[in-house]
Amino acid sequence: MKLPINQLLEERVRVRQSHNRLSRAQIDRHEQWVVVAGKGFLTEPVRKSGLPYADNLIQGLEEDGPASSGLSHPLLHETVLPNSRGTRALLTLIEPSRMMFDLLSWAKKVVKQAKSSRSKGPILVQLMSENATCQERVVRALVAAAAAWVGPMPDYRKKPARQDRTIALSFYGLQQKIDLSIELAAGQGNNLARFLTAQPANYLTPALYRKAVTTLSRAYGWKMQFLDVAALQKKKAGAFLAVCQGSATRDAGIVHLSYRPSRPRQRGAKRLALVGKGICFDTGGTNLKPARHMVDMHEDMEGSAVALGTLLALTELEYPHPIDCWLALAQNHIGPLAYKQSDVVHAMNGLGIEVVHTDAEGRMVLADTLTLASHNKPDLIIDYATLTGSCVHALGTTYSGVFTNRESWLPDLIEAGQDSGERVWPFPMDKNFDRTLESQVADLKQCTLDGEADHILAARFLSHFIGKCQWVHVDLSAGKHKGGLAHIPTDITGFGVRFTLDLLLNKKILQH
């Protein structure tokens, strides 16, 4: 497996920014031209603004009829210009207040249409709006879409399909230059998360995953520690060990990566912990999944890939706070030693857990991993997991569920989802849900068989293993969405990297 870290994203997404307008001669030399404007583009003054081919663009809209001026979603209209090259002009009318999710979805369409011609030249983008904020949001959306488009995905066919490796974007009419480092770092992290999640199960066993993480840790300067089965036995991590005991190969374990800022740690600097569920394949255990639910269960490690991608992105940005990243790597297999319903196991923090359903393995491996993360007393723990089907039933696959033990954070969590385009919705975390998890033979049940509000019960279960730490739990119901989501062109979305960067860098939740 060749990890996509050998070539910087900046070399594959080439961006040029200019305050000048494009001339007719410049347009005529290229095959792609994107014009981004507001509804005022349809007015008479724009015809006299000096924009090349303005009449052709407006005529194309008028020929489409009144519906073409509707702005409930960003409009994308194509016109072939009457020049010798037959330049394809893509006209978009956008309201400045459009949600980022809509802008990212539009940007994916722009990149897809522009690249469908196999044009080798840059995509020229003329920004007609003089609203600097609107310009910035459009540029960020297009760069994010380009970064996702060039991200390589696994392809093990004899003749692999051609994958675009570079996209050049040239922006004109900008009020000011825009720093795109966050978009590029988020793209790098998301591309890594998607690449790992898409790996077939036999190409990403816990052992092979650990090897890939070792390569990454050397490339990015992370300190790495691996707690194998023997080490976890000494730590009495019975919840984690229960899940992996059914595997014939003893390659499961918990990876601990440490990032430390290059600058000396300042007094009062906050510590961040990222935790990810890394079930490389999930059969369901002795409660065996049927075929239609077991297919694609190699993707059940996406939470760990998102945690890893987030760590990579923050490293690229030289995040000024220490980060510890914990990856729970295992497989949930069947076999004579596999754990069973009604087993009672003891987690690392001493709590006895009554096993109710062996397909609720994710919360088991996370229990001990969260305990380890909490031992370092971080100021914030964020965990990611493709944890429950009930979250998918509640939200579908365009939102992910979010939970926290700090109710005051809920507005910031929602806003971070809106501003990043990776939308989340919070669920309650009231302690009275714990009554459902009361056990007659242990401290708590792993889950119930009723299936009601299992995403909430799973979060309540995990809350017993975080100590007194501030905590955010992301149930990745949007980890996979047919046809891609927002700017992401693949079914596997790598959801969570952009959301977390916005939460940390813009909402500054770690400083609260």
Residue 115 within a domain: yes
Among the listed residues 208, 130, 186, 203, the one whose alpha carbon sits nearest the alpha carbon of residue 311:
186
Q: Are 202 and 326 members of one domain?
A: yes
Overall domain count for the chain: 2
Residue 47: per-residue pLDDT:
59
The single residue of 140, 194, 210, 363 carrying the catalytic annotation is 363
Q: How far is CA 425 from the centre of its chain?
A: 15
Q: Rounded to whole angstroms, how far apart are CA atoms 274 and 306?
A: 9
Q: Rounded to whole angstroms, how far apart are CA atoms 476 and 397?
A: 9
Residue 3 within a domain: no
Helices in 329-485 by DSSP H: which ranges? 361-375, 389-395, 410-420, 454-462
CATH of the domain at 190: 3.40.630.10
Residue 130: per-residue pLDDT:
79
CATH of the domain at 28: 3.40.220.10
Residue 413 within a domain: yes
Q: How confident is the model at residue 499 (pLDDT cuts 50, 70, 90)?
A: very high
Residue 269 pLDDT more than 90? no
Average pLDDT over residues 267-283: 93
Residue with the larger pLDDT of the pair 170 and 63: 170
Burial class (CB in 10 A: 0-12, 13-18, 19+), 143: buried
Q: How confident is the model at residue 57 (pLDDT cuts 50, 70, 90)?
A: confident
For 38, the 3-state DSSP assignment is: coil
234 catalytic? Reply is no
Q: Are 296 and 316 members of one domain?
A: yes
Residue 4 within a domain: no
| Residue labelled with tokens 């997404």 | 13
Average pLDDT over residues 188-192: 96
Residue 97 one-letter amino acid? S
Q: Rounded to whole angstroms, how far apart are CA atoms 91 and 74?
A: 10
Q: Would you say the C-alpha torsion 7, 205, 249, 371 has a positive or negative sign?
A: positive
Residue 205 within a domain: yes
Two structure tokens written together for 341: 């319903």
Q: Rounded to whole angstroms, how far apart are CA atoms 167 and 14?
A: 6
Phi and psi, residue 464, nearest 5°: -80, 0
Burial class (CB in 10 A: 0-12, 13-18, 19+), 205: buried
Residue 75: per-residue pLDDT:
59
Q: Are 322 and 385 members of one domain?
A: yes
Residue 111 pLDDT more than 50? yes
Q: Rounded to whole angstroms, how far apart are CA atoms 345 and 242?
A: 7
The single residue of 29, 47, 109, 289 carrying the catalytic annotation is 289
77-101 as b/e: b if 16+ CB within 10 A: bebebeeeeebbbbbbbbeeebebb
Contact 343, 351 (CB under 8 A): no
- Decide which of 110, 145, 178 is a domain's last residue: 178
Average pLDDT over residues 361-369: 98
pLDDT in tens, 373-412: 999 999 999 999 999 999 999 999 999 999 999 999 999 9
Contact 127, 171 (CB under 8 A): yes
Residue 184: per-residue pLDDT:
95
Phi and psi, residue 281, nearest 5°: -155, 140
- Measure Cα distances from 479 to 152, 164, 190, 443, 494 in Å: 18, 23, 11, 32, 6
pTM of structure? 0.95
Average pLDDT over residues 225-254: 98
Domain enclosing residue 372, as ranges: 184-511
Q: Are 373 and 282 members of one domain?
A: yes
CB-based contacts of 472, cutoff 8 Å, min separation 6: 380, 381, 382, 383, 402, 403, 404, 409, 413, 503, 509
Q: Are 228 and 343 members of one domain?
A: yes
Q: Are 285 and 427 members of one domain?
A: yes
Count of positions (residues) in the chain: 512
Q: How confident is the model at residue 71 (pLDDT cuts 50, 70, 90)?
A: very low
Name 127's bridge partners. Answer: 36
Q: How confident is the model at residue 164 (pLDDT cuts 50, 70, 90)?
A: low
Average pLDDT over residues 452-459: 96
Mean pLDDT of all residues in the chain?
A: 91
Q: Are 351 and 249 members of one domain?
A: yes
Residue 67 pLDDT more than 50? no
- Decide which of 121, 155, 178 is a domain's last residue: 178
Q: Are 291 and 322 members of one domain?
A: yes
Two structure tokens written together for 327: 């990856």
Q: How confident is the model at residue 160 (pLDDT cuts 50, 70, 90)?
A: confident
Residue 46 pLDDT more than 80? no
Average pLDDT over residues 80-103: 88
Q: Are 309 and 345 members of one domain?
A: yes
How many C-beta neighbours within 10 Å does residue 377 have? Answer: 11
Q: Are 77 and 29 members of one domain?
A: yes
Average pLDDT over residues 425-430: 97
Residue 2 within a domain: no
289 catalytic? Reply is yes
- Decide which of 155, 178, 201 is a domain's last residue: 178
CB-based contacts of 132, cutoff 8 Å, min separation 6: 175, 176
Average pLDDT over residues 65-79: 56
Q: Are 387 and 292 members of one domain?
A: yes
Residue 239 within a domain: yes
Residue 1 within a domain: no
Q: Are 360 and 486 members of one domain?
A: yes
pLDDT in tens, 473-492: 999 999 999 999 999 999 99
In three-state form (DSSP H/G/I as H, E/B as E, the rest C), the secondary structure along 209-270 is HHHHHHHHHHHHCCEEEEEEHHHHHHCCCHHHHHHHCCCCCCCCEEEEEEECCCCCCCCCCC
